[in-house]
Amino acid sequence: MRIDIISVLPQLLESPFSDSILKRAQQKGLVEVVLHNLRDFSLDKQKSVDDYAFGGGAGMVMNIEPIDRCIGALKAKRSYDEVIYLTPDGELLNQKISNQLSLKGNLIMLCGHYKGVDERVRQHLITKEISIGDYVLSGGELAAAVLADSIIRLLPGVLNDETSALSDSFQDGLLAPPVYTRPANYNGWHVPEILRSGNLKKIEEWRHEKSIARTQERRPNSMKNYSE
């Protein structure tokens, strides 16, 4: 998979991809993440990428031209499955969307700033709009990092068996059960006896019950996605 991220602040995206699982995924050749500075595609001397809104009002709007030139340059080299715009009014991200995107080959992510992008970008250049939650960030960069992380960890070979994505919360419609590690007794706070019993069948049943109880309590709406 290849993910191209277009941003006015590409340096903000460097660290999430330079550590741990996302770094190793790139080193193993399972994903290529390429950051692009939108200003490099501006034709004017000041390298500006935004302008006042037609009709007035506070806040700047990102110009269509540098965005079109950047996306056009990428598309001239390879084909892309989706051109995603990160925006608070996009479709709310969930595990199903990440699963679907993890099956794609090449993705472009466009990070918004200021009052957003000229609407014609959304009408003609973008194929999918995603929000990571009903709150407003200063720009789309952190949202792109969240989206890319949720996709990359699903790619075959990125996680080992111990951290397999299949046992993640939401993957089967249920939240993950509680987990414990040593010591078994910390200041009188005990690990549930069943987890130390060695009875794998009973442990599995216990975990399943806890997953269901936690989902009913915290995400009652996701119970409908759950199939036994």
Residues that bind ligand ADE (CB under 6 A): 86-88, 112, 131-133, 135-137, 140, 143
What is the C-alpha separation between 154 and 165, in angstroms, rounded?
Answer: 6
Complex with ligand ADE: residue 134 or 228, whichever CB lies closer:
134
Task: Indicate the residue type of 21.
Answer: I
Nearest distance from C-beta of residue 176 to ligand ADE, angstroms: 24
**Rounded Cα distance, 172 and 228, in Å:** 9
Toward ligand ADE, which CB reaches closer, 62 or 86?
A: 86
C-alpha angle 35-118-82 in degrees, rounded to nearest 5: 45
Query: Phi and psi dihedrals of 145, rounded to 5?
Result: -65, -40
Q: How far apart are CA 38 and CA 172, in angstroms?
A: 39
Nearer to ligand ADE, 110 or 159 (CB): 110
| Cβ distance to ligand ADE smaller for residue 35 or 174 | 35
147 contacts 130 by C-beta, under 8 angstroms: yes
Question: Minimum distance from CB of 83 to ligand ADE (Å)?
Answer: 15
- 158-163's contacts with Cβ under 8 Å and 24+ in sequence apart are 158/21, 158/24, 158/25, 158/28, 158/30, 158/31, 159/21
Cβ of residue 181: shortest distance to ligand ADE, in angstroms?
A: 34
Residue 116 C-beta: closest distance to ligand ADE, Å: 8
Query: Could you write out the DSSP letters of every residue in 174-206?
Result: SPPPP---S-SEETTEEPPGGGGS--HHHHHHH
Nearer of residues 126 and 137 to ligand ADE, judged by Cβ:
137
Closer residue to ligand ADE in complex, CB, 16/140: 140
The nearest distance, CB 62 to ligand ADE, in angstroms, is 12
Locate tokens 């080992």: which residue?
160
Q: How far is the CB of 115 from ligand ADE (least distance, A)?
A: 11
Q: How far is the CB of 40 from ligand ADE (least distance, A)?
A: 22
Q: Which residue is nearest to ligand ADE (CB)?
A: 143
* Nearest Cα residue to 17 out of 144, 111, 172: 144
Output Rg (C-alpha) for the chain, integer angstroms: 22
Residue placing its CB nearer to ligand ADE in the complex, 112 or 173: 112
